[in-house]
Structure 1
Amino acid sequence: MSNPIARRTVLGLLGTAAGAAALSGFVPTRASAAGGPDVTLVDNGTSVTLANGIIQFTVIKSSAKISDLRLIGSTQGNGGANLLSGSHGSGYTTFNYSGASGATGMSGAAFRIVSQSADRIEISMLANDPSRLTFYLDIRMALERGASGLHSYWIVKYPEAMPDGLSLGQLRYAFAADDPAFRWFVVDDARGIRQRPTIPDTQNWVTLQDTTYALPDGSIYSKYQNSS
């Protein structure tokens, strides 16, 4: 854990971009920032679906979990495939902080549409209840016309109403692709194109330490060797 956070300190503005169009095997249609279909939002009740003709994603309002991600503008005939399909596939939050019994995620968030136009839609999932989370967290997601990925940033605060003694270990948003169609990946040019372990590999590997394994072919695999 880090040292306790000072009261009223704004912890930061965390930004990520989910570059879904870069995923291997999927080729989106070309569109400039000024071109392409309108950005749309469909309210499904407990979730919303945003789309722009290239990418489409569905977000659970209460948890900011992305349950469905599709490259609907793909020219490869796979635009209907959910890239986060499967029992473990999703985009999700993970928090480690003082006072929590273990890793937790966002729940009970208040949803609102921050802004909406044909060019850009931004949504908010806000947690500001100390009984659920001991710091203020506003997860924003946005989709723009012509963009091949969604954008997300977090607003994190520590106001007076929150319990004392906050320490943060981890605030994370991760994507888990459960579909075994994802077999190849690239971290950078130096490491080149790499193949991830197959399911049979994971069933027969030997744990060396933490998340480092000896594969059946004698090679060593660790998820941390793929850090950018």
Structure 2
Amino acid sequence: MTAPLLRIEGLVKRFGGLRATDGASLSVQPGEVHALIGPNGAGKTTLIHQIAGALAPDEGHIAFAGHDITGWAMPRRVRAGLARSYQVTNVFDRLPVRDNLALAVQARTGTSLRFWRAARDEGERFAAADAVAARVGLADKLDRIAGELSHGEQRQLEVGLALATAPRLLLLDEPMAGMGPDETARMMAVLQGLRGEVAILLVEHDMDVVFRLADRISTLVSGRVVASGTPDEIRAHPEVRRAYLGDEVPA
């Protein structure tokens, strides 16, 4: 098997006497969609925070693309190809869609200080922004103010902001949260379009979405990964059904 793009081993995060993650371990292969599921309070968002660099683990290790990144700051992780979105929409709501994406491209590429290149660099950034907008289904919304977009469109833009950093791994924390059926279908189409190009670690409560999108699924219960496998393996896993899925498993 190909070496994992991401491997976490024994991650522990304590908040006082609470272990939000308690020896969590999993791996993500290049190009795969890997879903992380579990009941509320299982530690999923805390785990994503540790992988992204927003929280430092108290114990354990995080390896990405063959490097131990456990002690790396978040900007260094982004430059290495690890990007994330959040449960709450996080966009520049007073700027147009194109400017939102151009700023994300600029954060990845940097800005030249040589004035004679400034116009060309700006054109390249906006061309890159337009290409990302097309990938996330917002090609016809480039001039719309981000704060005027629908909730689902703002979530698509947020995925675009992460995608504009040219990641190798996207961490998506409940990208379908608060969406109606049509918006969910559009987001699923966006993520399907990224399959094989960029790895995705997806936290999601919609089990229909999870079982339709994921190549592999890991289940987190009380801060520990109790099972990892294909959708069919997770669907049939007795401990997962008992701890979380129950009657929610899609047929």
Measured against the shorter chain, the TM-score band is under 0.3
Please state which structure has a larger fraction of its residues in helix.
Answer: 2
TM-score, normalising length: structure 1: 0.24
- Which of structures 1 and 2 has the larger relative contact order (alpha carbons within 8 angstroms, sep 6+)? 2
Quick check: which has more Rg, 1 or 2? 1
